[in-house]
Amino acid sequence: MSEYETFQHGKPRFDQNTFSGRFRHFLDVIDPSTLFVSERRLQESVELLDRFKQGTLPPGVTDTQAIIHPDTGEKILMPFRMSGFIPFGTPVVVGLLLPNQTLVSTIFWQGLNQSHNACVNYSNRNASKPAPASKFFQGYLGAVTSAVSIAVGLNVLIQKSSRFSPTTRLLVQRFIPFPAVATANVCNVVLMRHSELSEGISVLDDNGNVVGTSKVAAKHALLETALTRVVMPMPILMLPPIIMAALEKLPLLQRRRRLVLPVHSLVCLAAFGLALPLAISLFPQMSQISVNQLEPEIAMATDCKVVTYNKGL
């Protein structure tokens, strides 16, 4: 028997009203093993889901066999799935935190990071309303411009500062990626999903039926997503410099400098693995909002006091 509750279509198997339930849910979502699900296995899952809807599941099928994406049903490219965020994003984080960054390397790593983020944001957006490709490019250009401008500007200021010793300057430079990435992440989310603000997103009643389209709900969705994008890089970009500053003083790493990069990579991987599920668990993916906070036409279209919207990831 499965240790989880009976499978219900469209509903996560863990309680989304608690942080621990959301954390367990997103540990499943980011599980890298799902990157290697074959086309045949995926098609089998689609067929199982169809049979579940029809009430004709064969005997012996367990809940854990229903592994299809619950939202759009679209197949997302491997590097842009949430399950691919850590394995494909960690090398970029290592690059962002490399010491002695040049102008060219700063631009390269910040640009690569925001390119990846833009694709992840677009692939995991609220897809209830179509978004033109032009919004994708606006978000990409805005995020890269902000990230590179902040990172380069801070680097120039620190290099010109005479108050820092060489050792202190090197340590401070390692923290520069955080304000650049956090600011760019917010720009990325807002610009990539700007069409949601202008057109609104679908809100659902207790039965999952679309009540209407709300711009207010879209603002809440983008605010919640933007907050997760500020929280996420905190441990990813701030813990490794602190940990590596201590580890690099160890005799082993002093003698064998070639081990510094592999150790640095493992530290970044651990920080990423901790930060991602914690950040995206701050808010439920399917969030709720009182109809009194929404447009009058939404309140008139339903008897529900609270409606639901997909904030995206």
Structure tokens at 276: 């991602």
What does the pLDDT average to over 305-311? 85
The type of residue at 55 is: G
Query: At 65, is the pLDDT very low, low, confident or very high (cuts 50, 70, 90)?
Result: very low
Give the separation between CA 192 and CA 125, rounded to whole angstroms. 9
Edge to edge, the sheet with strand 210-214 lists: 210-214, 201-204, 306-310, 286-290
User: What pLDDT, on the 0 to 100 scale, is given for residue 69?
Assistant: 39
CA-CA-CA-CA dihedral for 206, 1, 30, 27, to nearest 10: 80
What does the pLDDT average to over 178-185? 79
User: What pLDDT, on the 0 to 100 scale, is given for residue 161?
Assistant: 67
- Please check the confidence at residue 63 and state whether its pLDDT lies above 80: no
User: Which residue has better confidence, 299 or 38?
Assistant: 299
- Please check the confidence at residue 143 and state whether its pLDDT lies above 80: no
Give the separation between CA 64 and CA 284, rounded to whole angstroms. 21
Q: Are 199 and 130 in contact (CB under 8 A)?
A: no
Give the separation between CA 217 and CA 194, rounded to whole angstroms. 13
**Of 8-17, 34-43, 214-223, highest mean pLDDT:** 214-223
Query: At 106, is the pLDDT very low, low, confident or very high (cuts 50, 70, 90)?
Result: confident
What is the sign, positive or negative, of the torsion defined by CA atoms of 308, 309, 312, 313? negative
User: What pLDDT, on the 0 to 100 scale, is given for residue 164?
Assistant: 65
User: What pLDDT, on the 0 to 100 scale, is given for residue 130?
Assistant: 64
Query: At 110, is the pLDDT very low, low, confident or very high (cuts 50, 70, 90)?
Result: confident
What does the pLDDT average to over 160-183? 71
User: H helices of 200-257, where?
Assistant: 215-231, 233-247, 251-255
Going through 12-94 in order, the beta strands assigned E by DSSP cover: none
> How many Å from the N-terminal Cα to the C-terminal Cα in the chain?
31
Query: Residue 13: helix, strand or coil by DSSP?
Result: coil
User: What pLDDT, on the 0 to 100 scale, is given for residue 66?
Assistant: 36
Q: Are 296 and 305 in contact (CB under 8 A)?
A: no
Report the alpha-carbon angle 79-180-144, nearest 5: 55
Q: How many residues does the chain have?
A: 313
User: What pLDDT, on the 0 to 100 scale, is given for residue 53?
Assistant: 66
User: Which residue has better confidence, 142 or 202?
Assistant: 202
What is the sign, positive or negative, of the torsion defined by CA atoms of 233, 115, 93, 146? negative
Instruction: Considering only the C-alpha atoms of the chain, give the largest distance between any 2 of them, rounded to a whole number of Å.
Output: 74
What does the pLDDT average to over 233-262? 86
Tell me the pTM: 0.70
Give the separation between CA 124 and CA 6, rounded to whole angstroms. 26
Contacts of 135 (CB under 8 A, 6+ apart): 191, 192, 193, 194, 195
